[in-house]
Structures are given as structure tokens and as C-alpha cells.
Amino acid sequence: MAEQQANNAGAPKGNARVVGWCMAGVVGMFAFGFAMIPLYDVFCEITGINGKTGGRYESTEVAEADVTRTVKVQFLASNGPGMTWKFRPVVRSVDVHPGEQTTVNFYAENPTSEPMVGQAVPSLAPSEGTLYFHKTECFCFNQQPLEAGESTEMPLIFIVDKDLPAHITKLTLSYTLYDQGKQVSATQNSRKETTTNDNG
């Protein structure tokens, strides 16, 4: 017994220290799991790798179109789960010169007998081109309310940056339209508001 007590003399204190450090590690790693979300958002915003296009673009200089290059921009429109609207681009694709401002329209119709609000979320492929695709005006910046049976054409004004890497000759912009309920603002929670602004 004597030897054993000698052996374990400092153990309870030592155990408390080890457990303390381990618990700190556990709590820290749990927090790290959640910290990955803002980290990921920042990382993707800088690199553009997840295809999320940026917010409203304000040009600082009068850009001159680079007429020597032509880039094909294709448009896709699809509905999120449960969304019943008719939603499609008016033109499927346009050929643009980098630096030139282009306007296209998307058609949306609410065929139901209820007023509804939609929110479009964009995604660009290839993701490498995300940083070079600027929108000066987009329907995706705001929520779109439609009365029962109403239809509308929603504008998108964009500029393809002249610095677009040379090997990219085609960009595909896809929108997914999500059902946001019946009212634009009253039912909005703060997270959805932020989202709307962020999504660009």
C-alpha cells in the first residue's frame, strides 16, 4: 500500500490538469467546427471558389470593351424544392465582349392563386470566373413578390471583367428560385435579410 500511494501521490492533481487541458481541447475544437462557417465564407469570397457571385458592382472607371475577345454567357434557371413558379431566362445565352455592359431579362410567373415571394440565388460555373463576373443590377439582390397569376420580366445587368483568364471562353450563370412565403418583409427574419444582401 505504501508504495502504491507513493506511486499515485501526485496523480489526482495530475489527472485534474490533464482533464482540464483535454476539455479545453474539446471545447476549442467544437467551437472550431462552427468557426469553419465564417472562415469558409471569407475564404470563398476572396477566392470565389464556391461559385457565389459578389454583390452590386460599382465601376470606378469607364471601361472600354475589349472587342478582340468574345465570351459566351449562358443562363440557367431552376426552381428550388416546392417552388411552383414558371422561371426561365428570356434568352438562353449571349455573346459579350469583356468590359461591355449587357442587359438580359429573366421571366417569372406565379401560376398559383396566392400571392408569393421568390428569392433567386445565383451560382457561376466555372467557379474560377466568379471573381470576373460583375453585376451592376440584378433581380437576385432583392426578393421578388408576385400576385396570383402575375408575371414579370426581371433584369440583370452585368459586365464580364477584361481580366477574365484567357482560357475561359464560356461562363454559365444559373439561378435557383426559392419560395420565401407570402410577404416580403413582415415574415423576414434577420438572417434572411442578411442573406439577401450577401447573395448579390
Residues found near another protein in the complex (CB under 8 A): 1, 3-5, 7-8, 10-12, 14-16, 18-19, 22-23, 25-30, 32-34, 36-37, 40, 44, 47, 49-52, 80-81, 119, 121, 125-128, 176, 178, 189, 191-192, 194-195, 198-199
Of 80 and 94, the one with the shorter C-beta distance to another protein is 80
CB contact set of 109 (below 8 Å; sequence gap of 6+): 85, 86, 87, 146, 149, 150, 151, 152
CB contact set of 181 (below 8 Å; sequence gap of 6+): 116, 117, 187
Shortest Å, Cβ 51 to another protein: 7
Of 99 and 135, the one with the shorter C-beta distance to another protein is 135
Comparing CA positions, the residue from 126, 110, 138, 136 lying closest to residue 199 is 138
Shortest Å, Cβ 50 to another protein: 6
Of 6 and 62, the one with the shorter C-beta distance to another protein is 6
Antiparallel, parallel or unpaired: β 93-96 and 116-125: unpaired
User: φ, ψ for residue 67 (rounded to 5)?
Assistant: -75, -10
Of 70 and 194, the one with the shorter C-beta distance to another protein is 194
